[in-house]
Amino acid sequence: MSKNTEKKKKIKIDTTTLQYVLDIMEKNFLSELLYEDGNFKIQLKKAMPQQAIVTVPQIIHSPQIATTPNPPINSMQTPVIESTPKNKEDENIYVVKSPMVGTFYRAPSPDAPPFINIGDTVEPGKTLCIIEAMKIMNEIKSEVKGKIKEILVENAQAVEYNQPIIIIERG
């Protein structure tokens, strides 16, 4: 016989074997299966439904630490003052803490004067510094009226979340 007549020859499929192969696919969550038994060969491919790809934005939370971490103390820094009032003098102290992880800058650009200096008087809403996080410059503004008592961070220094950066004496 020629090859063409062999192709035209109808092959009767055993439905029991076919059902057995389909059951194997379903039970094992297969999308494709090749079954061979002697001269009998069957290849099955399951049509997969089109699935929509949904992108969900991820929100990354900075871990909040129950205690206030103390920044490393170098020769230019003074110890951190706790924001919990212990006596009458401490009630007049306001500690500005970094709201994010980033880089602390005292001025809007390297050649510009700093936003504040020790001894300056500030009002609520006055820009105290900038913290750069992910190439975004975030202005940190005063929430109280008072006098700058200490700047605890050097210019261009990395700061952590909730790290004390500036101390203001209310008044």
Which pLDDT band, with edges at 50, 70 and 90, does 109 fall under? very high
pLDDT digits (tens, 9 = 90+) for 77-96: 444 444 444 455 578 999 99
> Does residue 58 form part of some domain?
no
> Does residue 29 form part of some domain?
yes
**152 in the same domain as 93:** yes
- 78 contacts: CB under 8 Å, gap ≥ 6: 150, 152
8 A C-beta contact, residue 151 and residue 116: yes
**Bridge partners of residue 157, in order along the sequence:** 104
- Enclosing domain of residue 99: 88-170
Lowest-confidence range among 50-59, 89-98, 117-126, 133-142?
50-59
Please spell the DSSP secondary structure of 130-159, one letter per residue: EEEETTEEEEEE-SS-EEEEEE-S-TTEEE
**94 in the same domain as 41:** no
Q: Tell me the average pLDDT of the chain.
A: 77
Query: How far is Cα 171 from Cα 138, in angstroms, rounded to an integer?
Result: 26
> Does residue 100 form part of some domain?
yes
**95 in the same domain as 40:** no
Task: Report which of residues 52 and 131 the model is more confident about.
Answer: 131
> Does residue 75 form part of some domain?
no
> Does residue 69 form part of some domain?
no
Lowest-confidence range among 2-6, 101-105, 127-131?
2-6
Question: What percent of the chain lies above the pLDDT cut of 90?
Answer: 46
Query: How far is Cα 134 from Cα 60, in angstroms, rounded to an integer?
Result: 13
Report whether pLDDT(157) > 80: yes
Ramachandran area for residue 157 (φ above 0: left; ψ -120 to 50: alpha; else beta): beta
> Does residue 119 form part of some domain?
yes
Lowest-confidence range among 2-6, 43-47, 146-150?
2-6
Mean pLDDT of 36-49: 70
Mean pLDDT of 137-155: 95
> Does residue 140 form part of some domain?
yes
> Does residue 34 form part of some domain?
yes
**107 in the same domain as 36:** no
Residue 43's pLDDT is 77
Tally of domains within the chain: 2
**37 in the same domain as 97:** no
Q: Which residue bears the tokens 């057995």?
A: 20
pTM score of the predicted model: 0.49
Task: Report which of residues 15 and 51 the model is more confident about.
Answer: 15
**160 in the same domain as 93:** yes
8 A C-beta contact, residue 151 and residue 169: no
Domain harbouring 143, CATH code: 2.40.50.100
**32 in the same domain as 97:** no
**165 in the same domain as 94:** yes
Mean pLDDT of 24-45: 74
Name the nearest CA neighbour of 171 among 128, 119, 132. Answer: 119
**162 in the same domain as 100:** yes
